[in-house]
């Protein structure tokens, strides 16, 4: 069967190493540059809409509403008008622009063969710019993920690529956009692995990392290389009580993440019961946003300036409380209306406000320290991506010495969210569309067993020429499963040195699964229990 090895590899689509991986990596390089340009374009477009609506000037500088006093009617009605525009674009352009970007990218990977329509690449950033620029409390990163992913997907659709190869370029574009937005290459790669790739393999990791690297270099020329929210960390001294309180921040952040996720989908359920077309829902969400803006104008828009104040310890008590309450409510309720906008920036702001509020009670470490812990915690809890939460916070602030408390906070929030909720704010939307999605990765037990461990005896009579599909003793059961699926087989002879030495059947593959099940559920004492000390004999009585 040695002459069939190359044939099998081609059919299995295995480009883990070799020319295929290198070819995809080369195509990922221009995708990274295009993703960086898309990120810059969206940020400039958001700035243009915001300046036109709230400041009546022509400028592409990224500003936030609420920096000056605005007429009440503008604060109230601008988000409504933005919601109307988004609803019209979704109904008559593409419904795919609804939502915050990442679930849509995941869905295209799971069910659409990683194909994204070209019009989505245009409509998604425009709709997000309108939504955020008119006061929507969303982030630019979700639309950038969808736009960058669309760029990679469209390139792959022009080429003779498999669905897995299209997925790699889609995620390469998404990661590039994320890295260029926040100057966070490692967090972008982690986000790709934890949320989009559904695998950790060289065939996809290398191209995505290459694309992210190019995007980050391009960002240096376009937007600079400084951290987005620099936090001076000189004098950072961590003690055991600080680490314990970081766990407290993590648990409170996890509780806030659970509450916000619950609120998003209760809002979505409420909008679904309305007796009119979903095109009008974003306008109603806009009315909720406007009402919140009348209470706390700084809660409107993408809010990078507010995040900066929280992380550097310059936020006032009224701003902290206003963001924690108003931003959480208007973001959760309006997101359920199906408007266009991302989740990361609002989560950064809400988490930072929670940590800053707790920092008024906790011991002083450095300015903004507890806001950083709150940010990492809420990201870990809302998105169920704890490592991304930690690395994002570090790359945003460059406060590298805070690694351990951030890890404690993010993991505690992740654990609480996993215990209380079945799914995250991202995967719940996928599940509601009838898809099953797991975020738990483990080694495939079929990959850890060889044919010789499960094969049966050779058949009594063997044809003179073995069938065209056979296996070898040191093939993995995963390889055998792929062969069976490819050729619609339930058994195959095992050939070694030109001789049939056994046979493997479909039922034999279950032995690996049974071993995995036993490892998970069978409990036994491995070390013997200590034997009790022998009792001392009673002393002899004196004569």
Q: What percent of the chain has pLDDT over 90?
A: 47
Over residues 21-39, mean pLDDT: 93
The 10 Å Cβ neighbour count of residue 202 is 13
Cα separation, 316 vs 322, in Å, equals 10
Contact 303, 133 (CB under 8 A): no
On the question of pLDDT at 319 being above 60, the answer is: yes
pLDDT digits (tens, 9 = 90+) for 145-155: 888 888 888 89
User: Per-residue pLDDT averaged across 97-103, rounded?
Assistant: 70
Q: What's the pLDDT band for 221 if we cut at 50, 70, 90?
A: very high
| Cβ(177)–Cβ(38) below 8 Å | yes
Nearest CA to 168 out of 155, 179, 177 is that of 155
Q: What domains are there in the chain, each with its CATH number?
A: 14-222 (1.10.3080.10), 240-431 (1.10.3080.10), 445-519 (3.90.1280.20)
Residue 213 corresponds to which tokens in the numbers above? 């690297």
Q: What is the DSSP letter of 51?
A: I
pLDDT of residue 537: 61
More confident residue, 289 or 97: 289
Does 369 have pLDDT greater than 60? yes
| Averaged pLDDT, 6-26 | 60
Asked if residue 300 has pLDDT above 60, the reply is: yes
Greatest Cα-to-Cα distance within the chain, rounded to the nearest angstrom: 114
In 327-449, alpha helices (H): 328-335, 344-359, 369-383, 386-397, 403-420, 427-431
316 vs 421, higher pLDDT: 316
Considering the chain, what is the average pLDDT of its residues?
86
Two tokens, residue 180: 């260029």
User: Which two three-digit tokens encode residue 135?
Assistant: 């006061």
Tokens of 512: 């690996």
Mean pLDDT (whole number) for 320-332: 93
- pLDDT tens digits, one per residue of 424-478: 766 666 666 666 666 566 677 888 889 898 898 887 665 555 766 888 989 988 8
Orientation angle between helical segments 386-397 and 163-182, nearest 10 degrees: 40
pLDDT of residue 59: 93
How many other CB atoms sit within 10 Å of the CB of residue 107?
A: 17
Q: Return the closest-CA partner of residue 494 out of 469, 527, 531.
A: 469
pLDDT of residue 68: 86
> Percent of the chain at pLDDT above 70?
87
Please state which of the ranges 9-18, 183-192, 528-537 shows the lowest mean pLDDT.
9-18
CB atoms within 10 A of CB 317: 10
For residue 185, pLDDT beyond 80: yes
Split at pLDDT 50, 70, 90, the class of 16 is: very low
> What is the Cα–Cα distance from 442 to 383, expressed in whole angstroms?
19
Higher pLDDT, 445 or 84: 84
Task: Please state the pTM of the whole predicted model.
Answer: 0.83
How many residues in the chain?
Answer: 543
Helices and strands in the chain, H and E counts:
22, 2
- Closest-CA residue to 88 (of 284, 274, 282, 341): 282
- Nearest in space to 65 (alpha carbons), one of 302, 291, 284: 302
Q: Which pLDDT does position 193 carry in this prediction?
A: 83
pLDDT number for residue 431? 67
pLDDT at 13: 41
Mean pLDDT of 95-119: 72
- pLDDT bracket for residue 96 (50, 70, 90): confident
Neighbours of 57 (CB within 10 A): 10
204: nearest Cα among 194, 193, 190: 193
223-272 confidence digits (pLDDT tens):
899 999 999 888 888 999 999 999 999 999 999 999 998 998 889 889 98
- Residues 483-514 have pLDDT tens digits of 998 888 888 888 888 888 889 998 988 888 88
Residue 401: closest CA among 228, 232, 227, 182:
232
Looking at residue 460, its pLDDT comes to 67
Say whether 340 sits in a helix, a strand or coil: strand
Residue 527 reports pLDDT greater than 90:
no
State the average pLDDT over residues 42-47: 92
537 burial (CB, 10 Å; 0-12 / 13-18 / 19+) is exposed
**Distance from C-alpha of 186 to C-alpha of 470, rounded to nearest angstrom:** 43
- What pLDDT, on a 0 to 100 scale, did the predictor assign at position 15? 42
What pLDDT shows up at residue 343?
Answer: 83
């Amino acid at each position: 069967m040695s002459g069939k090895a190359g044939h099998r590899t081609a059919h299995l689509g295995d480009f883990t190493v070799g020319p295929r991986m290198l070819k995809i990596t080369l195509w990922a390089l221009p995708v990274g540059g295009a993703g960086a340009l898309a990120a810059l374009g969206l940020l400039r477009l958001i700035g243009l809409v915001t300046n036109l609506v709230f400041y009546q000037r022509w400028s592409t500088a990224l500003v936030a509403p609420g920096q000056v006093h605005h007429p009440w009617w503008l604060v109230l009605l601008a988000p409504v008008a933005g919601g109307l525009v988004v609803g019209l674009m979704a109904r008559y352009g593409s419904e795919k622009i609804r939502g915050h970007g990442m679930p849509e990218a995941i869905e295209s990977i799971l069910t659409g063969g990683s194909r994204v329509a070209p019009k989505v690449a245009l409509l998604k950033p425009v709709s997000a710019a309108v939504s955020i620029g008119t006061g929507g409390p969303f982030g630019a990163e979700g639309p950038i993920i969808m736009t960058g992913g669309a760029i990679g997907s469209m390139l792959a659709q022009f080429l003779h690529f498999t669905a897995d190869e299209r997925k790699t370029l889609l995620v390469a574009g998404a990661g590039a956009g994320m890295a260029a937005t926040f100057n966070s290459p490692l967090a972008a790669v982690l986000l790709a692995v934890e949320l989009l790739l559904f695998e950790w393999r060289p065939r996809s990791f290398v191209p995505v990392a290459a694309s992210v690297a190019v995007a980050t270099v391009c960002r240096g020329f376009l937007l600079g290389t400084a951290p987005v929210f620099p936090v001076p960390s000189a004098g950072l001294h961590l003690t055991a009580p600080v680490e314990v309180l970081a766990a407290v921040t993590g648990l409170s952040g996890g509780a806030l993440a659970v509450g916000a996720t619950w609120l998003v989908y209760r809002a979505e359920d409420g909008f679904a019961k309305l007796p009119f077309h979903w095109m009008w829902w974003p306008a109603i969400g806009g009315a909720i946003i406007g009402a919140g803006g009348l209470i706390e104008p700084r809660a409107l828009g993408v809010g990078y300036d507010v995040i900066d104040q929280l992380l550097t310890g310059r936020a006032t008590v009224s701003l902290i409380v206003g963001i924690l309450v108003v931003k959480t409510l208007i973001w959760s309720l309006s997101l359920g209306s199906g408007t266009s906008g991302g989740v990361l920036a609002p989560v950064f702001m809400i988490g930072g406000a929670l940590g800053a509020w707790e920092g008024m009670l906790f011991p002083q470490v450095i300015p903004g320290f507890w806001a950083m812990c709150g940010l990492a915690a809420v990201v870990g809890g809302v998105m169920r991506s704890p490592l991304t939460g930690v690395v994002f916070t570090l790359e945003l602030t460059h406060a590298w010495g805070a690694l351990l408390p951030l890890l404690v906070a993010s993991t505690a929030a992740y654990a609480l969210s996993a215990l209380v909720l079945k799914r995250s704010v991202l995967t719940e939307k996928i599940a509601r569309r009838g898809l099953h999605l797991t975020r738990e990765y483990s080694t495939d037990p079929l990959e850890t067993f060889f044919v010789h461990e499960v094969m049966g005896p050779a058949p009594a009579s063997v044809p003179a020429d073995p069938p065209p599909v056979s296996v070898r003793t040191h093939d993995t059961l995963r390889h055998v499963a792929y062969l069976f699926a490819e050729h619609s087989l339930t058994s195959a002879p095992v050939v070694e040195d030109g001789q049939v030495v056994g046979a493997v059947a479909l039922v034999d593959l279950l032995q690996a699964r049974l071993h995995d099940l036993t490892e998970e559920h069978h409990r036994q004492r491995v070390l013997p229990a200590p034997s009790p000390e022998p009792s001392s004999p009673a002393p002899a009585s004196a004569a």
